[in-house]
Structure 1
Amino acid sequence: MTTEDDIALVKRQELELVLPALDEAVAFEIGSSIRARALEEGLSLVVDIRTWDRQLFFSATPGTSADNAEWVRRKINSVRRFQRASYRLVLERGEVPFSPQSGADVADYVIAGGGFPLRVPGAGIIGSLTISGLPGRKDHGVAVDALCDHLGRNRADFALPEA
């Protein structure tokens, strides 16, 4: 697969992995499934699910640190500002910091995979599912897998190939 193919697939993920609703119960179900997977597979992950005005779910598994929570905060900001998966930013721009002219200060924004926009019909992107702990492409994949599972979609139909 080429980078262009990866970008097209991430765009498809963003458009098709749409939640019918997002509330505390949905966030808990998705977040708990990610936490269970992390514990089962021995993955050190921080998981954050939120609407733009408040956090609905947060979890950190063994092996994570305050740095992971900081990466999550910066990924959330990037998803919110650019209205796309943070991994799509990586594919489109490379993992280089934003320029000072962009106004996206590196202290608050990051180009790294793991932040996924949460879309609800009739409302658009209202929040994010964000993961930190693995390499960016894998963080992104964990988020996509969880959304597929929640929505009853086949993971293989949305999975990026191994890099």
Structure 2
Amino acid sequence: MMTPQDDIALVKKQELDLVLTRFDEDVAFTLGGALRTRALAAGMSVVIDIRTWDRQMFFAATAGTSADNAEWVRRKINTVRRFQRASYRMVLERGEGPFSPQSGASSADFVIAGGGFPIRVAGAGIIGCVTVSGLPGRLDHGLVVDGLCEHLGVDAAAYALSAQ
């Protein structure tokens, strides 16, 4: 059985290993479409957002989502951008809930919840994020990781968090 420390180490490995060689509109569309297809096949109600820090490049919502999901996505994006790590890693390191007042990260604009994952491009670093909202945070995170693994042609089993 994996411990929280094991999960943190695995998420760090995901962040370092799941690196794109390039990122542009075509990559965003291909990755986003694959995530949407995966969600539809599993009957998941999710919102998917893929972006660089300055603009949205893909957005999709499946049946059963609401404006609340898009709001969660916005707050997860802000968290990934500010802390430069997966929002689920923030859950594992800090616990779910609001940031402390000392952090200066208002709950109106930031959230500690899984589903935001940094887009890292070789030679460029973190340039944006892939974000999913609609499932429990661990599953939102897993959907993104599975989609990135598929896109990169790597074995998703090597990066999968255990079921909890």
TM-score for the superposition, normalised by structure 1: 0.99
Q: 2:163: which partner in 1? A: 162
1:15-65 Cα distance to aligned partner (Å, 9 max, x none): 000011110000000000111111111100100000000000000000000
In structure 1, what is the Cα distance between the partners aligned to 2:8 and 2:40? 30
> Aligned residues: percent identity?
72
Q: 2:5: which partner in 1? A: 4
In structure 1, what is the Cα distance between the partners aligned to 2:4 and 2:30? 32
Runs of 5+ in structure 1 lacking a partner? none
> What amino acid maps onto 1:125 in structure 2?
I
Q: 2:59: which partner in 1? A: 58
Residue 103 of structure 1 and its aligned partner are, at CA, apart by 0.7
Corresponding residue SS for 1:146: helix
Q: 2:93: which partner in 1? A: 92
Q: 2:76: which partner in 1? A: 75
In structure 2, what is the Cα distance between the partners aligned to 1:99 and 1:137? 22
Residue 114 of structure 1 and its aligned partner are, at CA, apart by 0.1
Q: 1:17: which partner in 2? A: 18
> What amino acid maps onto 2:83 in structure 1?
F
Q: 1:142: which partner in 2? A: 143
Residue 96 of structure 1 and its aligned partner are, at CA, apart by 2.3
Structure 1 runs of 4+ aligned residues shifted over 3 Å read none
Residue 144 of structure 1 and its aligned partner are, at CA, apart by 0.1
1:29 pairs with 2:1: no
In structure 1, what is the Cα distance between the partners aligned to 2:157 and 2:138? 15
In structure 2, what is the Cα distance between the partners aligned to 1:113 and 1:9? 14
TM-score for the superposition, normalised by structure 2: 0.98
